[in-house]
Amino acid sequence: MNRIDPSILLILSLCLASPVLAQTDSVQTDTLKSTYFEPLEDGRTQFYFDEHYFLVDRDCQYKTIERVGKYNVSLKNFDGPFTDYNNDGQVILTGNYTGGKKNGLFTAYFANGRTKWIIHFKDDLPVDTSKYNYPDGLPLLEIRYTDSAAYVQNFWDTHRRQRIKDGDGKFEFAVKAEGYNAYGYTYTKYQGNVKAGKPDGVWNIFLLYDNREQDFAGYERFEKGKFKAGYDELEGVPYQGNSKLQIGPSLFFPQAEEMVSKHCTIDENQDFSLFMVKKLEKAFALFDVRDLIPQPTELEITAHVDKSGTLQQLELVKGLPSEEADKIIRNTLRNINYWIPSYGDGDYIDDVLQLKADVIADENGRLKCYNLMIEREKGI
């Protein structure tokens, strides 16, 4: 990566979510009558988000954040100071927008009240020095912004030992794995040297699991801070163009600016639906499907999944107008090693999942999948 910028949100595809706040109703709802926000008497608005700042219903079990601030409906942006609270009413983030752009000091807090991080913004871009802390209040990371570039200035490991000082040293940090992944890892760890504030030499990438085991996931090579090449051990392929390296914790709060909602299901909350969309699109990546899908077509699939997350049976109720294409769909879904199992009566249970999605051929003949929904017969 040409630039280390911790303010960049982890990019998620929005094809599974529906934009809201597109009209001036006092309470915007989707077809399921979900309440994503409500006006307050003082002219501000209260918004309801999940932990990744996607709008969710006020009563959704995945609601973890409530934001209070002013929102300009006609311009579709935040304007003025805001405060974010967790479900216990504790302040977890404060900041300010000017005409939809982040301006001034943004401060995040741990549940214990200590400062989690501070970032200064000017017209949406971080400036000066951003500081990140551990929950005990001791410093974790400092990143300096100069001339639209970012530099790792100082870093302290989990034992609170300073490993990078004034832009030089060794970096090792584990980033929590967000959403669904087919391998079951919980963190991604990055290791490498920093010189003059930039990655230098070979950086190794590892996958960490709950049982404390780890797998080698690949490496990347840098020269004077510039990404040269990488290798993905899981896919067994080299890559160029963009680095996968992440410096510091993931920050999701900019997602709130997109005003994108998610349905209150485990599959959307954990991005399992998004994972399946990507799998299906990738399976047809080498095909021109314009003759096969001359108009939008609905897929309908029944999947029997046991309580361990193993697919037991798959039925393609509605497929594409080609047996060969249907075979590709079946094989793609059967090759998913882990399906999120249903939960009911206090434990995981065997269940039947109904999958529905619309597929189209884009202008280049590639298959595109959208509006994928999963309904569970017994559990959640």
Phi/psi at 247 (5° precision):
-105, 115
Residue 4 belongs to a domain? no
**Inter-CA distances, 21 with 125, 256, 259, Å:** 25, 12, 7
Confidence of residue 5 (pLDDT cuts 50, 70, 90): very low
Give yes or no: residues 251 and 296 share one domain.
no
Asked whether the beta carbons of 175 and 246 are under 8 A apart, the reply is: yes
CA angle, corner 6, sides to 62 and 8, nearest 5? 65
Give yes or no: residues 147 and 23 share one domain.
yes
Give yes or no: residues 133 and 271 share one domain.
no
Give yes or no: residues 330 and 194 share one domain.
no
| 279 secondary structure, DSSP code | H
* DSSP codes of every residue in 101-125: EE-EEEEEE-TTS-EEEEEEEETTE
3-state helix, strand, coil in the chain (%, to 5): 10, 45, 45
Number of domains in the chain: 2
CA–CA distance, 9 with 105 (Å, rounded to integer): 18
Give yes or no: residues 237 and 270 share one domain.
no
Residue 18 has pLDDT above 60, yes or no: no
Tens digit of pLDDT for each residue in 50-60?
999 999 999 99
Confidence of residue 184 (pLDDT cuts 50, 70, 90): confident
Give yes or no: residues 59 and 117 share one domain.
yes
**Inter-CA distances, 191 with 132, 139, 142, 203, Å:** 18, 19, 17, 5
Closest residue by Cα to residue 129 from 207, 121, 137: 121
200 compared with 212, residue with greater pLDDT: 200
Closest residue by Cα to residue 198 from 161, 244, 149: 149
Show contacts of 74-82: CB within 8 Å, 24+ apart.
74/24, 75/99, 75/100, 76/21, 76/22, 76/100, 76/259, 77/257, 78/256, 78/257
Residue 3 structure tokens:
């630039």
Give yes or no: residues 46 and 119 share one domain.
yes
Give yes or no: residues 362 and 301 share one domain.
yes
| pTM for the structure as a whole | 0.84
Give yes or no: residues 193 and 318 share one domain.
no
Tens digit of pLDDT for each residue in 299-347?
999 999 999 999 999 999 999 988 999 999 999 999 998 999 998 888 9
| The pLDDT value given to residue 64 | 97
55 compared with 248, residue with greater pLDDT: 55
Run of H or E including 272: helix 272-283
Domain of residue 191: give its range: 18-258
Give yes or no: residues 166 and 201 share one domain.
yes
Residue 188 has pLDDT above 80, yes or no: yes
> Residue 23 CA to chain centroid, in angstroms?
26
| Burial class, 243, CB count within 10 angstroms (exposed 0-12 / middle 13-18 / buried 19+) | buried
